[in-house]
Amino acid sequence: MEKSDYDLEAAIEERLCGDSRFESAQIRIAVDNGVVTLSGDVKTYEQKHAAIQIAQQTEGVRGVADDLLVHVVSAHRRTDLELTGLIGLTDLLELK
């Protein structure tokens, strides 16, 4: 028996809410004819990929559209100069 869009949405929401990786994520779920659209904000690419995988693995889902945005915590952001230092390019720039 084919699941309704409402049942699919409820199943995915239950799985996401039961997964500790998504405690602070703001994920919205919409389902139309078995095609799931995930939208909202997550903090990591791991959260994004895991949410997509959960939706894809839910029985009855015909497809998944990904509109999730990853918002990296500012403590993890680095300037261009910091990044070049990490890969050793600052030494090359000082030679010029």
Domain at 10, CATH number: 3.30.1340.30
pLDDT at 56: 97
Q: Is the pLDDT of residue 90 over 60?
A: no
Assign residue 88 a region (left: φ > 0; alpha: ψ between -120 and 50; beta: otherwise).
left
- Domain boundaries, position 74: 5-95
pTM given for the model: 0.73
Question: What is the layout of strands, in order, in the sheet containing 26-32?
Answer: 26-32, 35-42, 63-70
Position 43 confidence tier, pLDDT thresholds 50, 70, 90: confident
Q: State the average pLDDT over residues 70-88.
A: 70
Average pLDDT, the chain: 85
pLDDT at 23: 76
Listed range (14-28, 32-46, 79-93) with the worst mean pLDDT: 79-93
The total domain count for the chain is 1
pLDDT at 21: 86
Q: State the average pLDDT over residues 60-79.
A: 84
